[in-house]
Structure 1
Amino acid sequence: MELLLLLAGSLAVAAAARKLDWPAPLLLVAIGLGVSYLPGLPDFHLDPEFVLVLVLPPLLYSAALESSYLDIKAKIRPIGMLAVGLVLFSTVVVGLVAHMIVPGLPLASALVLGAVVAPPDAVAAVAIGRRLGLPRRSMTLLTGESLGNDATALTAFRVALAAATGMAAFSWVDGVVTLLITSVGGIAIGLVLGVVVHAIRLRLGDGILESALGMLVPFGAYLLAEELHTSGVLAVVVAGLYLGHNAPAAGYSTRLQETAVWRAVDVLLESLVFALIGLQLRSVIAEAHPDGALLAASGVVLLAVIVVRFAWIFPTTHLTRWLLPHIRKREARPDWRSLTVISWAGMRGVVSLAAAAAIPENMPGRDVVVLLTFVITVGTLLIQGMTLPTLIRRLGVQSDDEQGRVLAEAQVQNTAAQASVNRLDELLDEGDIPEHLAERLRAIAEHRGNAAWERLGRQEMESPAAAFRRLRRQMLDAERVVFVQARDRGEIDDEILRRVQRELDLEEAALSRE
């Protein structure tokens, strides 16, 4: 009952955030923290196994399905600098700062803290950037970073944890080798699983079965890779990228169902996790017994976490271009405003908290590390998350290629419409098809071919395509009313209503392209 109430409450807060156009993660954390002080409320604890096995894989898989493999491939160098270089740099720098600032915190335990808070959670940043129209390159970098940085951070976490608990001699060489082995193994497993699942789905020919099989992929990829001592995170990401890239070969019903299912899963899991962050903060503070010196040190470490991202992104971006002439020729000069937004989009989230919860009790300074992790997570969500939309607007960082993208879409749409008309003419030559039916099919093809061109015209006037969609939706609503009334009068049964309703819904979905 407690879990059910938590889920329902989390969804209610998320719904309010959407209604008010506020960042849902921030509101969930704030309300969760406030609710945690209500008398009689049970203590909530974030189970690391629950997060790493049941929450992280579906969130990564869903993000990978909607990501562009081609965009990530084209930006693999800067993404790698963020997902690998920045994570390792943050681990070392934050660890050294924490060791020097926090009284009595051993270096090995401080490096565990550095690894725990190294990976940003780009869920909130990507959502804000998409809503405010960040340039495509910035969105690709943030998304690609979020898909790969968890694997690097978790590997660094395991190496540092082994040193802190005396399970193994601390060695950066061993850590690099482990990172390479787990990364290559995770990528290979994810690719093989993606190929196998795609081949099976093409032969099933059943949208429901294909979608059901797809829901097993993130959990199967993660558990299989972890069982073979490789990166489960990368296995999930690669499988998702492969299946998303090859989604056009699947059936239409599979694509429609998967999109709806994974978006619903995303909202449910993200709402639950961020609510748990707020609810658990009170008990974490109570266990650590912080004094003034520790709270001041927490502020310094939080500042280091924010600054280290700037200290990596700006120098490495310009230094790489200066040292490698072919990079200067191939890539456009990065805009300082975009680099500032990417540097500020460093909110921490669920992976950091799950890793902190997985620290064994015998590690020296465990309570302090867990407290600092919560301070950094909540601090970055509140400071950076609250100010990121304002920063984007003030700097004027917006997509400047939207007109070009619409033009490219219009050109391809026109070519596709012409191909469909040519195919119609071939079918007309093969059989006796009524002329009125042929004219109707031609009109539909022309409408689709012209819709994108009309988007290039004047935006303040309603285009013919927009008028068509508006009027057709009203006609569909009128049809629904008739069928529902017929069902209520007993003229048709619910099975007929559901079948017709699905046909009307599919047509409205086609009309309601964002």
Structure 2
Amino acid sequence: MEPSVELTLRIGCLLAVIAACNVAAIKLRLPDALTLTAAGLALGAALLIAGVVAPTFTAQTIQPFLSPSLRPEGYLWIFLPPILFQAALEADAAAMARDLLPILVLAIGAVFAATLLVGITAHAISGASLAVCLLVGAIVSTTDPSAVIDLFRSSGVPARMVRLVEGESLLNDAAAITLASHLMARIVGQPAHAMTGSVLGDLFGSLFAGGLLGALAGALLARACRAIPAAPLSRFTLSLALPNLLYPIADLWLHVSGVVTVVSAGLTAGTLLRRTTTHEEHTIFRHLWRSMGGMAGGMVFLLAAMHVPDLLRGLRGPDLWLILCVLIAALVSRWAVLGCSLPLLSRLGMCAPLPRAHRLAITWGGVRGPVTLVLALCAAQAMSLPPEARHLASVVAVGFVLVNLTCNGLTLRPLVRRLGIGGDGNAGNHA
């Protein structure tokens, strides 16, 4: 089959599956992430079974079609910029600024806490090197709150809860990717690839420099959109070009976080466009971007999930116990940050109090998603890493995502109702 025909068919099939998953999610009242994961697992399992039943036919026809030759990190380069930009456009930058400190605690503190506690737990149980176990901790530390935010909004929870989860999701990818990159570079003996050599230096340098670059780019985009009268398609196309240009420029040439740069651009552009365009114009713009972000998120989730059955072929009995312990460690670390750091900041007058019920819901809402799967794929296919690192990444991290997504994703709505946070409930008003 011609490569161009194969690519066209693949894109068409992916979009059709995403549409079917969205319909199923609406009918079953489930998060899109769950239906997309189920579809990806089914496709990946079908590929494995077909490879056993008809290996020649599968290798020549099905495998090239179902298994993209794109390297795992390519998923981040292609799909992550529009996903981040769309989420940033939707966010209320002014409201987020009022909660900047707790958002940074969640986005950065929770990532480091999860990396440390998960790494120590995995090291104690598996006996693998601490650096490798910390890498697994960094991989599973980032959250994907898209399903959580939709559930929170539909349940009528306070706007501040949604804002905190949104803010965390916009920045914790940068922290997790920076930390995982450092650890991978040091494990393979290439510390020079870890940028400045300091995790905190890289991270906060990226936050500052990437934030400035993104704010400038976002302001320029808003000004350009204002100069294009009554042309929604032109505005959308120009805005679509921005994150796809910014991400590689920031990451490869300027050596700052592409994640932070794109997020800053989206926040700035969204704020300025809301002020300077009519309601109708901005509504069209948001709807176009919401569709784009949904398709990009669906594609990366589906493509990453297709690799899961193959990655789990090496699953052993002791790995199940390790996955369970890693899940508990991640949950404990998240609750420690929310239950200790935020109340302390509140007592010091540095942020508004967050009721205990709200902290519990946000803790349980730390659902992992496509970025975690992609980072696990990158580690699993990195031949420069030792076998133990590739095994833990492919089995523990992927198993963690599946159990976490299923367990937390299915039980979060009942938990919110039981805590009395949504609707007319008042249990969440008591600290």
Taking structure 2 as the reference length, the TM-score comes to 0.85
User: Which position in structure 2 is the counterpart of 1:28?
Assistant: 36
Q: Kindly indicate whether the alpha-carbon contact (under 8 Å) linking 1:116 and 1:153 is maintained by their aligned counterparts in 2.
A: yes
2:189 partner SS: coil
Question: What is the correspondence of 1:226-265 to structure 2 with a 5 Å cutoff?
Answer: 226=251, 227-247=253-273, 248-250=275-277, 254-265=281-292
Question: What is the correspondence of 1:119-158 to structure 2 with a 5 Å cutoff?
Answer: 119-158=142-181
Question: What is the correspondence of 1:201-220 to structure 2 with a 5 Å cutoff?
Answer: 201-207=225-231, 208-220=233-245
Cα shift at 1:356: 2.1
More displaced 10-residue stretch of structure 1: 246-255 or 157-166:
246-255
* AA in 2 matched with 1:375: G
User: Which position in structure 1 is the counterpart of 2:25?
Assistant: 17
Does 1:270 pair with 2:297? yes
Cα shift at 1:400: 6.9
Distance 2:236 2:384 in 1: 44
| Structure 1 unmatched ranges of 5 or more | 402-514
Cα shift at 1:206: 4.3
Distance 2:85 2:113 in 1: 26
User: Which position in structure 1 is the counterpart of 2:384?
Assistant: 362
2:227 partner SS: helix
* AA in 2 matched with 1:238: S
| Structure 2 unmatched ranges of 5 or more | 1-8, 51-61, 426-431
> 1:228-263 CA distances to partner (integer Å, 9 max, x unpaired)?
110110111111111111113035564233222112
1:358 partner SS: helix
- Select 1:57's aligned residue among 39, 58, 81: 81
Does 1:341 pair with 2:357? no
Distance 2:276 2:296 in 1: 29
Distance 1:253 1:53 in 2: 32
More displaced 10-residue stretch of structure 1: 341-350 or 15-24:
15-24
Distance 2:40 2:178 in 1: 30
Cα shift at 1:347: 0.7
2:307 partner SS: helix
Cα shift at 1:34: 3.2
Distance 1:92 1:241 in 2: 30
2:45 partner SS: coil
Question: What is the correspondence of 1:51-90 to structure 2 with a 5 Å cutoff?
Answer: 51-90=75-114
- Select 2:325's aligned residue among 295, 300, 308: 300
Cα shift at 1:190: 0.1
Does 1:165 pair with 2:185? no
User: Which position in structure 2 is the counterpart of 1:440?
Assistant: none
> 1:404-428 CA distances to partner (integer Å, 9 max, x unpaired)?
xxxxxxxxxxxxxxxxxxxxxxxxx
* AA in 1 matched with 2:403: G
Does 1:386 pair with 2:386? no
Distance 1:133 1:51 in 2: 34
Cα shift at 1:292: 1.2
Q: Kindly indicate whether the alpha-carbon contact (under 8 Å) linking 1:110 and 1:369 is maintained by their aligned counterparts in 2.
A: no
Cα shift at 1:191: 0.8
Q: Kindly indicate whether the alpha-carbon contact (under 8 Å) linking 1:51 and 1:350 is maintained by their aligned counterparts in 2.
A: no
Cα gap change, 1:276/1:171 in structure 2, threshold over 3 Å: closer, same or farther? closer
1:300 partner SS: helix
> 1:75-95 CA distances to partner (integer Å, 9 max, x unpaired)?
001101101111111111111
Distance 2:71 2:393 in 1: 16
Cα gap change, 1:171/1:253 in structure 2, threshold over 3 Å: closer, same or farther? closer
Distance 1:221 1:278 in 2: 27
Greater CA radius of gyration, 1 or 2? Answer: 1
> 1:134-168 CA distances to partner (integer Å, 9 max, x unpaired)?
11110110000001111111111111111111112
User: Which position in structure 1 is the counterpart of 2:57?
Assistant: none
Cα gap change, 1:3/1:102 in structure 2, threshold over 3 Å: closer, same or farther? farther
* AA in 2 matched with 1:17: A
Distance 1:294 1:19 in 2: 35
2:422 partner SS: coil
Cα shift at 1:116: 1.0
Taking structure 1 as the reference length, the TM-score comes to 0.72
User: Which position in structure 2 is the counterpart of 1:398?
Assistant: 422
User: Which position in structure 2 is the counterpart of 1:190?
Assistant: 214
Does 1:350 pair with 2:373? no
Q: Kindly indicate whether the alpha-carbon contact (under 8 Å) linking 1:302 and 1:375 is maintained by their aligned counterparts in 2.
A: no
Q: Kindly indicate whether the alpha-carbon contact (under 8 Å) linking 1:116 and 1:356 is maintained by their aligned counterparts in 2.
A: yes
Between 1 and 2, higher relative CO (CA 8 Å, sep ≥ 6) is seen in 2
Q: Kindly indicate whether the alpha-carbon contact (under 8 Å) linking 1:95 and 1:110 is maintained by their aligned counterparts in 2.
A: yes
Task: Kindly tell me the number of residue pairs found equivalent between the two proteins.
Answer: 393
Distance 1:49 1:265 in 2: 20
* AA in 2 matched with 1:262: W
RMSD: 2.2
Question: What is the correspondence of 1:306-455 to structure 2 with a 5 Å cutoff?
Answer: 306-322=331-347, 324=348, 326-327=349-350, 331=352, 333-359=353-379, 360-364=382-386, 365=388, 366-398=390-422
Q: Kindly indicate whether the alpha-carbon contact (under 8 Å) linking 2:105 and 2:337 is maintained by their aligned counterparts in 1.
A: no
User: Which position in structure 2 is the counterpart of 1:458?
Assistant: none
User: Which position in structure 2 is the counterpart of 1:417?
Assistant: none
Distance 2:20 2:419 in 1: 33
More displaced 10-residue stretch of structure 1: 49-58 or 384-393:
49-58
Distance 1:22 1:256 in 2: 26
* AA in 1 matched with 2:358: S
* AA in 1 matched with 2:344: L
The percent identity for this pair of structures is: 30
> 1:347-403 CA distances to partner (integer Å, 9 max, x unpaired)?
1111112222223212122132222111111111001011000100111112679xx
